[in-house]
């Protein structure tokens, strides 16, 4: 995993540089994964560990915004990027390698994050505003 302070986002590739974001079938519903900082911290606290968020392997860490837990809702990040929430991100077995019980701690209330597909590409950066697209 590599953390960056800005990234290009495209319809064809998701977050440029992330091999999982490339279109695989149409429509590909897991181009970008998002996770709330508070959810990660709650889950890791529940299992009694402090684990860097990057270990979850989500694309974007969201802070100060309650991600919608509804398929089809669109969120705008910064001026240009629009993502559509497609489903909950399922925590994988790798979470158990990080800490016993972490996978289960990520299951309630979409704590493991949300998957999204790109509707409108552009550039995003740390500190960009995120909001529901109306």
Tokens matching residue 127:
């500190």
What are the residue ranges in the chain where pLDDT is below 70? 19-29
pLDDT at 27: 60
Nearest one of 91, 113, 98, 108 to 44, comparing CA atoms: 98
Query: How far apart are alpha carbons 109 and 26 in whole angstroms?
Result: 27
Angstrom distance (rounded) from CA 67 to CA 9: 19
What gap in Å lies between CA 59 and CA 78, rounded to an integer? 16
Model pLDDT, residue 131: 96
Domains of the chain: 6-127 (2.40.33.20)
State residue 57's pLDDT score. 84
Please tell me the predicted confidence (pLDDT) of residue 22: 65
Q: What is the pLDDT of residue 92?
A: 85
Provide φ and ψ at 38, rounded to 5°.
-60, -40
pLDDT at position 50 is 94
Q: 63-95, pLDDT tens digit by residue? A: 999 999 999 999 999 999 999 999 999 888 889
pLDDT given for residue 35 in this prediction = 95
pLDDT of residue 26: 61
- pLDDT of 134 reads 78
pTM: 0.89
Which pLDDT score, from 0 to 100, does residue 28 have? 65
């Amino acid at each position: 995993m590599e953390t960056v302070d800005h990234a290009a986002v495209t319809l064809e590739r998701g977050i440029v540089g992330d091999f999982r974001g490339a279109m695989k079938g149409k429509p590909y519903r897991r181009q970008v994964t998002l996770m709330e900082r508070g959810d990660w911290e709650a889950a890791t606290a529940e299992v009694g560990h402090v684990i860097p968020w990057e270990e979850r392997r989500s694309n974007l860490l969201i802070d100060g915004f309650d991600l919608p837990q509804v398929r089809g809702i669109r969120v705008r990040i910064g001026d240009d990027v629009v993502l559509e929430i497609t489903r909950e991100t399922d925590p994988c077995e790798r979470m158990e390698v990080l800490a016993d019980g972490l996978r289960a701690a990520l299951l309630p209330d979409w704590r493991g994050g949300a998957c999204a597909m790109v509707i409108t590409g552009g550039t995003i950066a740390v500190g960009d505003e995120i909001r529901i697209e109306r």
